[in-house]
């Protein structure tokens, strides 16, 4: 397995940490970014979109984690994920 890092979006409460996910055709999928800058840009887009609560009620952080460990945990928990490669552009989906 790879020892590369990846970046996920997280939010903390007093009791636990949550990983941000998007609705991907009715299924929740975790965005996993290869590059810190891409993850950071995605958070900024969420903060600037008035339809999202990010920045007002929810603070998202870009968290660096080992790629192989993250994918292993997601697979073990049955979570789906989208690997955002460095040449991919992800824009927050419209809210419903």
Q: What pTM value is reported for the model? A: 0.83
Q: Which has more pLDDT, 47 or 81?
A: 81
**pLDDT value at 1 more than 50:** no
User: What number of other Cβ atoms are within 10 A of residue 64's Cβ?
Assistant: 13
CATH of 5-84, one of 3.40.50, 3.40.1350, 3.30.450, 1.10.10: 3.40.1350
> Two tokens at 29?
């999928």
Sign of CA dihedral 20, 54, 47, 16: negative
Average pLDDT over residues 24-29: 83
Are 83 and 34 in contact, with CB atoms under 8 Å apart? Answer: yes
């Amino acid at each position: 397995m790879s020892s590369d890092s990846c970046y996920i979006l997280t939010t903390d409460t007093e009791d636990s940490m949550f990983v941000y996910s998007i609705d991907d055709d009715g299924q929740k999928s975790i965005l996993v970014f290869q590059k810190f800058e891409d993850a950071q840009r995605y958070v900024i887009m969420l903060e600037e979109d008035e339809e999202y609560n990010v920045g007002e009620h929810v603070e998202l952080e870009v968290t660096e984690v080992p790629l192989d460990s993250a994918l292993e945990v997601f697979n073990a928990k049955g979570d789906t994920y989208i690997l955002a490669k460095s040449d991919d552009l992800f824009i927050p989906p419209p809210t419903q």
